[in-house]
Amino acid sequence: MALLKKCASLAVLVIFMLSIVPLALAEEAATEETTSEDTSATDVEETDVEDKEVDKEKDAQPRKVREAQKKIANARNRIAGAQQEVKRDMKEVQERLREVREKYQEVRAAHRENKDKLLEMNRVVKACKGDDSEDCEAKRKELRAGVIRHLSKTTDVIERSLERLTERVETSEVLTDEERSDALARLDNLTADLTATREKVDGLTKNSTVEEIRTVIKEVKETWKEIRKEERRIVALLAHAKLGEVVEKHEGLVQSMQARIDNLAKQGADTTELETIKAEFETLLAKIREDYNTAKEEWQAAEDKKAALDAWKDVQQNVRDGMKEARELLRDFTRKFVELKQGLAEEKKDAKEAEEEEDEEESENETSDSENETEENETEENESDSEENTTSEE
């Protein structure tokens, strides 16, 4: 746009000059003055346009910087927002887990209290053995009512236990999607079984027969047994996944170790010892990974999960011992890395000091040479003056 304005101004000026050519022949002096003024005006206009373009370019630079800074600020705000959101989510998860644990503890405490009362009632009823009096019959009915309450409290404990297991699976960060989905499906089936069992418990009354109560008690025990079995399985699954995550993190450290070795090698350091430690670390990790995979395969293929769990605990201890040894190797590697890095820093410092000393010596030598040269020049000048004086006297 500025260029178009400039061209238009020049075109107008040319047309104006052509229109006054005849007058210029008659009024040469006036025309020269007018032309000079017009040219000066044009120069000023061109200069103004160029200045504006330069100003625009100057203004564009800070604007680009401001835009870049704004983008960086927006990105930081988004990251900060995401971090805050993660913190809120983690806080909510922790709060949910805390509430589930508290409910479980409350129900567990009520269950124990009711159990103590039931044992006392059972002791009283035993004293009525062979006694068919109304008092003893009332105590027997009260005992049956106590048993029913205890069964109800037991199903509460089982329900809270299932909720706690479900919460742990849903909030786990180490399970795969498939593992989480399978575990939740099994827990859903157990929840359905528990619901059916609870309905039978709720259907009991103090007038229910002993046989009816015993049948429901047996079913509650079977349900509780299956849930405890699943609980052990899920706990082992979480332990598997957590340990696997730790193994993977340690395997990722190998790349970090190699990067540090390469960095020191480029600077001329002797990395032989670091490479030896890294090789030992890799060998140990391979053994840990092998133990972990073997235990996991045996666990998945085992029919008796209780026996597999016991075997897994032994292997898990071996893996943990290996991890402990791996941490010691990491400490050795870090210690040696810091030592070599400090050694390089000292070498650079010594080299710099030596270079500075050499520069000082060269400077002193140059100064000395300059002084000697000056003295020689003065001596030559004196000798020359002496010769001139001698010649003059002759």
Structure tokens at 72: 């960086």
Q: What's the CA gap between 213 and 205, in Å, rounded?
A: 9
Give yes or no for residue 299 having a pLDDT over 60.
yes
Distance CA 255, CA 262 (A): 11
pLDDT at 71: 66
Least confident among 2-16, 301-315, 325-339, 349-363: 2-16
Higher per-residue pLDDT: 99 or 21: 99
Look up residue 205 and give its amino acid: T
Q: Report the Cα 358 to chain-centroid distance in Å.
A: 49
Average pLDDT estimate for 150-174: 87
CB 35 within 8 A of CB 17: yes
Residue 276, pLDDT score: 93
Instruction: Supply the pLDDT for residue 255.
Output: 87
Q: Which range has the top average pLDDT, 204-208, 304-308, 367-371? A: 204-208
Q: What is the DSSP letter of 1?
A: -
Residue 373's pLDDT is: 55
Query: So what's the pLDDT on residue 187?
Result: 92
pLDDT beyond 60 at 68: yes
Percent of the chain past pLDDT 70, that is, above it, reads 53
Instruction: Please tell me the predicted confidence (pLDDT) of residue 41.
Output: 44
Reported pTM? 0.50
SS3 state at 131: coil
Enter the tokens of residue 353: 């000091």
pLDDT > 90? residue 319: no
**Comparing 78 with 340, which gets the higher pLDDT?**
340
Task: Tell whether the torsion through CA atoms of 368, 370, 371 and 372 is positive or negative.
Answer: positive
229 pLDDT tier (thresholds 50, 70, 90): confident
The pLDDT of residue 390 is above 50: no
Q: Which whole-number Å values give the CA distances from 43 to 10, 16, 123, in the listed order? A: 10, 16, 119
- 232 pLDDT band, cuts 50/70/90, is confident
What is the spatial distance between Cα 141 and Cα 209, in angstroms, rounded to a whole number?
10
Q: Residue 160 has which token pair?
A: 């809270």
Q: Which two tokens stand for residue 296?
A: 């996991």
375 or 337: which leads in pLDDT: 337
Q: What counts of helices (H) and strands (E) characterise the chain?
A: 8, 0
pLDDT band at residue 344, thresholds of 50, 70 and 90? confident
Per-residue pLDDT tens over the stretch 259-283:
999 988 988 888 899 999 999 999 9
| Confidence tier at 44 by pLDDT (50, 70, 90) | very low
Quick: pLDDT tens for 55-66: 555 555 667 666
pLDDT at res. 317: 80
- Distance, CA of 164 to chain centre: 27
Residue 318, both tokens:
């071996």
Residues 6+ apart with CB under 8 A from 159: 107, 194, 198
Please report, for the chain, the start and end positions of each structural domain, with discontinuous segments joined by +: 2-68, 128-345
Residue pair 154/220 in contact by the 8 Å Cβ criterion: yes
Side chain identity, residue 275: E
CB 199 within 8 A of CB 155: no
Higher confidence at residue 344 or residue 365? 344
For residue 238, what pLDDT is reported?
Answer: 84
Give the H/E segment covering residue 255. Answer: helix 210-266
Average pLDDT, the chain: 71
Cβ proximity of 33 and 20 under 8 Å:
no
**pLDDT for residue 188 is more than 90:** yes
